[in-house]
A and B are shown apart, each in its own frame.
Chain A
Amino acid sequence: MNYTVLVYFLLLALGAIISHKGLISDNFSKKLGPIQNFCLLFLLFTMGVRIGLDKKVISSFFQIGAKATVLAVFSILFSIILVRLVRNMVLRDEGEVNEP
């Protein structure tokens, strides 16, 4: 496992443990959403700046969009097929299945 993955995992786990154990105040908990949104929008703005600075990406934007669509469709198709393969194992003994 490389260093970056470990740092990401530790940060996620640390946040989850602190919150799960109730170590954050209700007041802070309420502010968590807006803080996350601010971090996220700032990061996306920075990502946009990097894209804007890269003239090669800007000139091939529609080509990138076409690639993105192909990748998304294949990801969805294969995940549906694999979930289909395990459905009987997951839903055994469950009585609430009401499907087509």
Chain B
Amino acid sequence: MSLSIILAVVLGIGVGYFLIPDCFFSYTGIITDIGLCLLLFFAGMDIGKQKGVFKDLKKMGFRILLVPLMIIIGSIFGSIVGGFLLKMPINESGAVGAGLGWYTLSSVMLTNYSTELSAIAFLTNVVREIIALIVVPLIARYIGYLECIAPCGATAMDTALPVVSRSTNSQTTIISFVSGVILSLVVPILVSIMIKI
């Protein structure tokens, strides 16, 4: 899937650069809006299938919601601090951070706002996922199990879950999954809010 994602983006860049006339640019906005609505509806269906999440939440207590909450605040604030060093506007850096590692959705959501920001969001969240997969075992070893969930962001429920599971224990794996589901739910809302600030 990762290869397909990169291929789709690279193919699109090639087609846009070499084949399509500039006047096509305005139509891509409408196509993106319709496609995004469909994708969110199907993503919701996928999340609704995870029936165990609410049982896990009740079992472990609602205090585990502090984990996704801290990841949201840390990701957005960290991104704003990084953006400040790069002289980026707060709303743009904050919106990139609000992607929480879900690079496909955040970049597509920002594509109508600015193509450059969309590319930054895509690469930022791809880099985040790559770093997460590398550092999770190190964080588990030298810092703590719970902190392993932080770099994964929204991918804590899917791509990064096997790494978290291998590096930590069953309790952390459940928290990771619940955290990933919650973060995936809030990404579209947070990105839309942050970019309008």
Contact = CB atoms under 8 A, between A and B. Distances in A.
Contacts of A49: 12-13, 15-16, 20, 24, 28
Query: From DSSP, what is the main secondary structure of chain A's interface residues?
Result: helix
B159 interface: no
A79 B82 contact: no
A84 to B, nearest CB: 6
| Most chain B Cβ neighbours within 10 Å, of A39, A40, A43 | A43
B14 to A, nearest CB: 6
Contact of A11 (B25, B41, B140): B41
Contacts, number: 314
Interface of B is mostly: helix
B118 A84 contact: no
Interface string A13-48: 111111111001000010011011101111111111
A24 B42 CA distance: 11
Interface string B6-40: 00111111111110101011001001100111111
B13 A51 contact: yes
B7 to A, nearest CB: 8
Given A83-B74, A96-B169, A47 B189 contact: no
A42 B7 CA distance: 11
Given A57-B119, A69-B127, A78-B75, A43 B39 contact: yes
29 contacts: A5-B189, A12-B44, A12-B188, A17-B44, A35-B42, A37-B1, A44-B108, A45-B11, A47-B32, A47-B108, A49-B20, A50-B111, A51-B118, A52-B16, A53-B16, A53-B28, A58-B17, A67-B88, A72-B124, A74-B79, A74-B82, A75-B97, A77-B78, A79-B150, A83-B71, A83-B147, A87-B144, A87-B147, A98-B169
Interface of A: 1-2, 4-5, 7-9, 11-21, 24, 29, 32-33, 35-37, 39-58, 60-61, 64-65, 67-87, 89-92, 94, 96-100
